[in-house]
Structure 1
């Protein structure tokens, strides 16, 4: 679906919501590209997907009144409806992270051996898997892999969902969602272990570097944004027009030789 093919050795960077297919991506990326993704805890991600895409309404073809009522009902019928739903958005509610990483055939979502084989392939094809719940730790690993500076990985939070919109998850609901998204759970658990193995290999300076990075990021956030107010979308309001703050406010920074395949839901 690329409108324009690269005229030289390939694109420098691809940052987009795109299902991962290493062989196809290598056709358009530079030979030295790094392949990176980010995963999120499956239950919280599932609720985010459902809300973001209004999957209750989409999968069950509900009226507005029915939509409001069924959100408080048992999940079984809804989970089954997602599996049968033909809309692309519904596929993101059924092992959606595994789907985005290339296991698109739903028939394999109940086959643990097929899931394990796919996860092993993903391990070989991706250079780094970040974890949303350990975002700062993940960024330090990305910094080291890419030979970047601390300034290169500083960030401000954008489009963060307000806490008032978050509803507590009942244990039985969470267990049902984990069972339904077993592939995503297996994927997440594998790369949580991988993350901590990489942190161990980072060396004794990891905690020192983490404290330094968080301190720098805290000072930068205080300098760049008004943390006591936000716009209608929940974004912090930029209060400093320095070059650093302007860079942090960009959606995409032109890092060379890197491919980022963002899997977790943007802004949720």
Structure 2
């Protein structure tokens, strides 16, 4: 990449991230697959977790793994802080999943993008009624089990709100309002029913989201309204396309049809 490339990523509270991973990666991670439930896993994670088994990187400190950081003992704060400072020197912005709209506003500002560049539909989520509510004790256990992820999240949560303060609280509120109004308008314009639908009910394979299976909560998706004109359909389809199909589209553009 060019030396002046701008790198950004995203972090999420490891408590809710781990609950989501247990549902989404149940069939991929032996630690999750062997556990009868998330509650059972939380009571004694070491009973099911073996770090050497393929797929178990999903079961502990997944964000730390995804960022390519070295496996460190979480009780070595100096080493953990040093790793996070190196990471911060690479990434110009780390978004927060819990404050996604504010994150998009900061991203748009950093890259001088127009508003429509960050008007997006949320993807890869479950219906709210399907998400397991976590007690305070569960959240604490998950953060302790994913201690490196928690250190990462706390670090970038702090820097995120410093950036929000620099941006300006009132300005942020106004920009978030504009973003949400535009997203709602695009949802009414693009989507059948104006919002997400069960993924399995999306007839168009290009828009049907991957379903993790094995009893996991179904991932919702989007079905486009009938009668969209060519220009609207192209824009709406781009916003409604799940990440796996979007990745395939980008690979075809970059490498040619032979890659998929």
- TM > 0.5 fold call: yes
Q: Deviations over 1:46-78 (max 9, x none)?
A: 11112212179712774xxxx54x544362432
Q: Which residue, out of 218, 222, 225, partners 1:236?
A: 222
**Counterpart secondary structure, 2:44:** helix
Give the equivalent residue in structure 2 for 1:42: 14
Structure with greater proportional strand content:
1
Query: 2:236 aligned with 1:245, yes or no?
Result: yes
Alignment-derived partner of residue 215 in structure 1: 181
Q: Per the alignment, do residues 60 and 40 of structure 1 end up closer, same or farther by CA in structure 2, a change over 3 Å counting? A: closer
In 2, the alpha carbon distance for the partners of 1:133 and 1:169 equals 15
Residue 156 of structure 2: which of 182, 187, 191 is its match?
191
CA 1:228–1:190 in structure 2 vs 1: closer, same or farther (change >3 Å)?
A: closer
Offset at residue 151 of structure 1 (A)? 0.7
Q: Which runs of 5+ in 1 are unaligned?
A: 1-28, 256-268
Q: CA separation of 1:169/1:181 partners in 2, compared to 1, >3 Å: closer, same or farther?
A: same
Q: Distance in 2 between matches of 1:228 and 1:186?
A: 33
Q: Whole-Å Cα distance in 1 between the matches of residues 155 and 183 of structure 2?
A: 29
Q: Report the 3-state secondary structure (helix = DSSP H, G, I; strand = E; otherwise coil) of the residue aligned with 2:7.
A: strand
Contact kept, 8 Å, 2:125 with 2:220, in 1: the verdict is yes
Q: Which of 22, 34, 42 is 1:75 aligned to?
A: 42
Distance 1:51 1:224, change over 3 A: same
Please list every run of 5 or more consecutive structure 2 residues that lacks an aligned counterpart in the other structure. Answer: 201-218, 251-260
* CA distance in 2: counterparts of 1:128 and 1:182, whole angstroms: 22
2:29–2:57 CA contact under 8 A, matched in 1 = no
Q: Residues of 1 paired with 2:125 and 2:102: CA distance?
A: 19
Q: Are the aligned partners of 1:35 and 1:128 in contact in 2 as well (CA < 8 Å)? A: yes
Q: Please list every run of at least 4 consecutive aligned residues from structure 1 whose deviation after the TM superposition is greater than 3 angstroms.
A: 228-231, 250-255
Q: How many residues align?
A: 220
Q: Secondary structure at the match of 2:10?
A: strand
Normalising by structure 2, what TM-score? 0.75
State the match for 2:60 in structure 1. Answer: 94
Q: TM-score, normalised by structure 1?
A: 0.73
Q: Does 1:52 align with 2:24?
A: yes
Shift of 1:185: 1.2
Check conservation: 2:27, 2:33, Cα contact below 8 A.
no
